[in-house]
Each structure stands twice: as C-alpha cells, then as structure tokens.
Amino acid sequence: MKPAIRLMRAARRDRRRLLRGAVAAAGAAVLTGCDRLSGNEAFVDMLKSAEHLSRVAQKVVAPRSAMAQEFGAGDIAATFRSNGTLSPVDADYRQLRDGGFADYRLSVGGLVDRPGEYTLADLRAMPSRTQITRHDCVEGWSCIGQWTGVPLRLLLAAVRPQAAARYVVFRCFDSMDGPGTDSRYYESIDMDDALHVQTLLAYELNGQPLPVSNGAPLRLRVERQLGYKMAKYVRAIELVDSFAAIRGGHGGYWEDEGYEWYAGI
C-alpha cells in the first residue's frame, strides 16, 4: 500500500474514532444532565406544570359527565389482576377480616352536616350500580372486571357536604411501609369525580364479595383515572377543603412519592 493512502486511511480512522467518542461523550453528558435535573426542584416543578395543563385540557374535551367506556360480560378477564397491597398486615384489619367484616364500619365525616357510620349491610341496602369497566394501572397494563357498589354521590347526599368541601379523602387500612409506620394508604379526589355516576364504593367484583387481594370489604372505583386513585380497604371518608395538611400534603400515598395527583393520563 502506498504510504499516502495508508496515512489517509489512518486519518479517516482517527476522525471516525473521534466522532464516535464525541457522540458517546455527548450521550453520557445528556444522561448525567437528565439525572441531575431530575433532582433539581425548580426543574421538576416545571415538568410537573404539565399536570395542570393536562388536567385542564382533559376536563375541557372530556367534561365532568363524560362516561368511561363500559364493556360486555364477554370482556371480563378470567382473573382480575391485583396489585399494591394484597393482604394488609394491620391488626385491626385482620381482626375485621377474621370476623367476616361483620364489625366493619365506614365512617364518613369532615365537612359534612350529618357525619355517620355505615355497616356493610347499610351500604348494601342503598341503591347499587353494576358496571363492567377497564382498570388501567400506571405501570401500563389493563384488566376488565365487573364492579358492584353504592355510587359515592348517594352516600354523599346522605351526609350532606358543606359548601366548603372540595375534596373527598379516603383513608385505608393498609400500611404501605410495614405495620407501626404512619404509612396507611390514602387517596383523594375532587367533587367532580366524587359526584360522577360511575364513581362507586364497590363491595363486589364479578358478582362475588370483593376478595381481600382486591380491597375487601370496600374499595373505590374512579373509572376515568389510573388504578392508584382507586383506594382499596377503605376505612373512612373525610370531606376537606384542602389536603395540604394531610401526611405529605400531595393528596395520596403515591402522590407523596412523586406521582401525579391528577391521574387521568
């Protein structure tokens, strides 16, 4: 080979190596930069501003009354996937469960005129709604099941919310970070969702009493949001004007861990 050609090839090889190195370095810089930005409060706040935009936009195109899709009996999944807590370890829950939830009382309070306590029999005696809907997990999977329960709006009508009430908070039995920690699951929704026709306190799945792994004896169904909004093992309901003073202040267990409060997306 002529030395000139050899030199030219070497130069081209060097340039290619340089280019490859530059691309790799740029890639590494992007990754490190993005990781650093994920820890920067102001930047994350900017990212989170999209949540409000999404909520407002979604409420405009899919108004308050818009219905979640309902399916046919043939669409029901053979086994409904359970996620999150599968069996609460908390002593008060286990005691109730061992007694077949006969001693279960749902307490409803906060900004209401007629706070009250409801047994499962009380709730079953109220008008019910049955719906076959799709459950969408934030992880990405979906599962179709049939839910029966009392529409939350009927229960709210019975306790008479005060004008100041803006959110409904659901307090649950299951401690997420082990027993004895102040980590019981909780969630909150606004009045638009609370009064929606398809928002239920469900006590049946596919015609059977709610299994423990799916939230027995009572779980929330908010069909136009993701699964983590639909609190299982509901213990108490509280109407509030703000959830800023509750636990981490973000309106739910996963919200305090960084997930969006508005989970319609």
Partner 1 sequence: MPTEAAVDPDLPPPAAAPRRVYRHRLPVRVMHWINVVCMTILLMSGLTIFNAHPALYWGKDSTFDSPWVAMTAENTPTGPIGVTHVAGARFVTTGVLGLSDVQGTPTARAFPTWATIPSRQWLSMGRHWHFFFAWVFVLNGIVYVLYTVFSRHLSRDLLPTGTELRGIGRSVLDHLRLRHPTGVAATRYNVLQSLAYLVVIFGLLPLLVIAGLAMSPRLDAVFTGWVDLLGGRQSARTLHFLAAFGLVIFVLVHVFEVVVAGVWNEIRSMITGWYTVPPAEPAPKEKP
Least distance in Å: CB of 27 to partner 1?
A: 7
Is residue 67 within the footprint of partner 1 (CB under 8 A)? yes
Q: Cβ of residue 57: shortest distance to partner 1, in angstroms?
A: 9
Please list every residue from 177 through 196 that binds partner 1, using CB under 8 A: none
Phi, psi of 83 (to 5 degrees): -145, 165
CA distances (Å), origin 48, targets 125, 166, 251, 259: 43, 22, 15, 10
The distance of closest approach from Cβ of residue 206 to partner 1 in the complex, given in angstroms and rounded to an integer, is: 14
50 part of the interface to partner 1, by CB under 8 A = yes
Q: Which is nearer to partner 1, 75 or 241 (CB)?
A: 75
Tell me which residue has tokens 């069996």: 87
| Residue (6 or 52) nearer to partner 1, CB | 52
Residue with tokens 């130069």: 11
Q: Of 204 and 259, which has the nearer Cβ to partner 1?
A: 259
Binders in 215-244 for partner 1, by CB under 8 A: 223-226
Cα–Cα distance, 247 to 57 (Å, whole number): 29
Q: Quick check: 29 binds partner 1 (CB under 8 A)? A: no
Q: Is there binding between residue 54 and partner 1 (CB under 8 A)?
A: yes
Which residue type is seen at 121? A
Residue from 35, 41, 98, 182 that binds partner 1 (CB under 8 A)?
35
- How near is the Cβ of 66 to partner 1 at its closest, in Å? 4
Answer whether 83's CB lies under 8 Å from 229's CB: no
Q: Return the closest-CA partner of residue 223 out of 128, 121, 151.
A: 151
